[in-house]
Amino acid sequence: MIPKVKANGAEIPVIGLGTWRSSGGDVVPAVHAALDVGYRHIDTAVMYSNEVEVGEANRTHSVPRSEIFLTTKIWPDDVARGQMQAATEASLKRLGVDQVDLLLIHWPSPDVPLRAQIEALCKTKRSGLTRHIGVSNFPPLYIEEAARVADEPIVANQVEYHPYLDQSALFEVCRKHGIVITAYCPLGRSKLLRDPVVARIAAANGKTPAQVLLRWHVQQPNNIAIPKSSNPERIAENFAIFDFALAPDEMAAISGLARPDGRMVDGVVALDWNGAPPT
C-alpha cells in the first residue's frame, strides 16, 4: 500500500504521476504504466490539454476509479465567480468523471481579487464537483490570505520544489494551516540527476539519482512528489522508492544543495514570492 499524507481531511498518495507536456498517444500508455506499478495519484490540468486522454486511461484500466486520486487545475483566466464553476464542469466532462479528488487554482490570477478566487474555489467543493480543494504556485503570504478567507479547507499547494530551491518558508506557512506541499519538477528538470552529491548518495544506496531525489521528497513531512514521465521504465523506477531510506546526514546533504538561483520555472503570472497578494 502506497503511503499517504493527511491534510485537512484529505488522504493523498505521497507520489503521483505528473502529466505536464504529456500529450497525444503518450498519455494513455503512461497512465496505464503508472497504475500497473502501483501509482494511485494522477495529476493533470486544463492547461495540459490532456484531460480527455487522462480520463480515458483511468476508465480503461482495471484499477477502479475509487482507488485513484485524481487532481486537475483551473487556469487563472477562469477563476472568477461563475467562470470557475463552468470551467470545472468542462474539466469533469473531458475527464469523464462526476467529481475530481482535488481541484486547484493553477496560478493566482492578477486580475481577480484573491478573496473572489478562493470563494469561487470553495463553491466548487460545496457543489460536489470536487472532494477537496487546493491551490498551486501560491507564495507564503498568498497562502495566509487564502486560508483566512476560505470557508472550506485548503489541502494542498502545488509548487516547484527540489533540492536546489529552498521552500522552507512556504513549508512553515502551509504546515501552520494543515496544507501539504505537492512538488512539481521534483528532479529539478533533470539537472539534479547530474549533481555529484546526489550521485554519491545514490551509489552508496544502490539506487539511481532519481530514486534518491524522490526518496528525499517523500521522507519530508507534508511533502508529495509528482514526477513527470511517459517512459514506462522511468515511471517504474520513480515508484521504486519504498524499499530504502536515506540517513539523516544524507537528507541534510541533499537539502544543503539549495541556492539563491534555484528556481527554474518562469511563471505565467509575475509573482513576488515574498510579497502580499494584490488587493
Cell matching residue 24 = 497525444
Vertex 218 angle, CA 141 and 272, to 5°: 20
- Separation between Cα atoms, residue 136 and residue 157, nearest integer Å: 5
Cell matching residue 94 = 473531458
3-state secondary structure of 165: strand
What is the DSSP pairing of strand 10-13 with strand 4-7?
antiparallel
Helix 168-176 to helix 140-149 angle (10° resolution) is 10
Q: Which residues are catalytic?
A: 48
- Separation between Cα atoms, residue 235 and residue 78, nearest integer Å: 32
- Separation between Cα atoms, residue 139 and residue 169, nearest integer Å: 9
Quick one: DSSP state of residue 180?
A: E
Spatial contact of 9 and 36, defined as CB atoms under 8 Å apart: no
Cell matching residue 136 = 498551486
